[in-house]
Amino acid sequence: MPNDHPPLTNLSSTRASGILPKAQSSLRRVAPLVLALGALGIGAALRYRGRYKFDNKVVVITGGSRGLGLVLARELASQGASLGLIARDAIELARARRTIDSESLVQLLPADVTDKAQVEQAFSTMIRRFGRIDVVINNAGQILSAPFDDTTPEDFKAMLDVHFWGTLNVSRAGLPHLARHGDGRIVNICSIGARIPIPHLSAYCVSKYAQAGLSAVMAQELRSKGVRVTTVLPGLMRTGSHLQSWFKGNRTTEFALFSLLGGTPGTSMSAERAARLILEAAARGQADAVIPFTVRQIAKLAACFPNATIASLASVNGMVPEGRTRFATQGRHLRLPKVVRGVTALNERAADRNNQR
């Protein structure tokens, strides 16, 4: 006997539910999008509600007497943080303090980050004064621009001492205090030189690769202790650092090229913008922050096309005149051509602002 009734399954899925087949198909297509948008909305709401703020936080900054470290200190002070500034030169620290809002609480900590005992003493001083430490920013650094042939084993060691061992010493000294409150932050200021091998910066890049590797491992392991670690890989910044950097080889040319690349608006960003981006990444608890956007895209291209990147950088290296000298000279003792000074005027003004002279 023929069956004049539709199958039971069809009844339950169409007529019984009150949904026509065409409408049911449309719902199936739209549902994933609705769910995804809902999840994004919930995530955004939770992130906004739980946004980390630096107000009333106690922050230790290494290399805090000049350059990016000082710019970060001023930005944090404007957000209501209390500060501990570590640097080797007590006179530089005193000058730096005068550029920070006088109402901010600032502890000056003369110490060498490569000396574990001095670092531990600095943290003890901070605890005695403030009773807690919430954030540590490893910013202390050095730059040597020199051909590989003129870069000595001692140069490599000096860079590793500051960037790798300094970061390790400071992070270990701060970790017990950061973990105590379950929401600590470590910010490691590395460099895009930890992703892209830059000609004539061999010792610098090697030390930054080591620092970034250490930072990435810390980000994985310290999360379970309630400490978020952010590895920052910035491009060139107008901090006035060309005056404090060291140069070998054809020193005048090395200095001029470094100043041009680091001081021209098209190839560098302001230190103030960099500081804001760094603190925003730290507040979000990002594990990795390549800034600005253009540098992030360059890093992605370099990762996708490593052989082409090496070839292009080798051609750039070929444009730099050779010069042999194993004695380094600091930028503030070298003269820039008048035309270069004109192009890099913004960086010269940044040097005045940021205690680099």
CA distance 196 to 258: 16
Name the token pair of 175: 């970790």
Which strands make up the sheet holding 58-62, listed edge to edge? 106-110, 82-87, 58-62, 135-138, 184-189, 227-234, 288-291
Q: Angle, to 10 degrees, between the axis of helix 271-284 and the axis of helix 67-78?
A: 60
The structural domains of the chain, with segments of one domain joined by +, span: 8-48, 54-353
Q: Which of 191, 205, 209 lies closest to 290 in space, CA to CA?
A: 191
At residue 28, the pLDDT reads 64
Find the catalytic residue in 48, 52, 204, 209: 204
Higher confidence at residue 309 or residue 164? 164
**Which tens digit of pLDDT belongs to each residue from 295-308?**
999 999 899 999 99
At residue 33, the pLDDT reads 64
| Exposure of 162 in the CB half-sphere (CA atoms within 13 A) | 23
At residue 323, the pLDDT reads 74
| Exposure of 11 in the CB half-sphere (CA atoms within 13 A) | 4
The percent of residues above 70 in pLDDT, for the chain, comes to 86
Q: How confident is the model at residue 49 (pLDDT cuts 50, 70, 90)?
A: very low
Is 15's pLDDT higher than 60?
no
At residue 17, the pLDDT reads 45
Is 43's pLDDT higher than 70?
no
Q: What is the largest CA-CA distance in the chain?
A: 105
Q: Work out the angle at residue 345's Cα, subtended by the Cα atoms of residues 343 and 350, and round it to the nearest 5 degrees.
A: 140
Query: Across residues 213-228, what is the average pLDDT?
Result: 98
Q: Which of 180, 59, 72 lies closest to 109 in space, CA to CA?
A: 59
Higher confidence at residue 325 or residue 253? 253
At residue 326, the pLDDT reads 77
At residue 36, the pLDDT reads 60
Q: How confident is the model at residue 40 (pLDDT cuts 50, 70, 90)?
A: low
At residue 117, the pLDDT reads 98
At residue 281, the pLDDT reads 98
At residue 266, the pLDDT reads 87
Q: How confident is the model at residue 322 (pLDDT cuts 50, 70, 90)?
A: confident
CA distance 200 to 192: 14
Range of lowest pLDDT (5-14, 74-83, 170-179): 5-14
Question: Known catalytic residue: 48?
Answer: no
CA distance 59 to 225: 18
Which homologous superfamily does the CATH classification assign to the domain defined by 54-353? Answer: NAD(P)-binding Rossmann-like Domain (3.40.50.720)
What's at 182, amino acid-wise?
A: G
The percent of residues above 90 in pLDDT, for the chain, comes to 79
Cα dihedral 302/306/308/314 (nearest 10): 90
Query: Across residues 55-63, what is the average pLDDT?
Result: 98
Bridge partner residues of 173 (DSSP): none
CA distance 144 to 202: 8
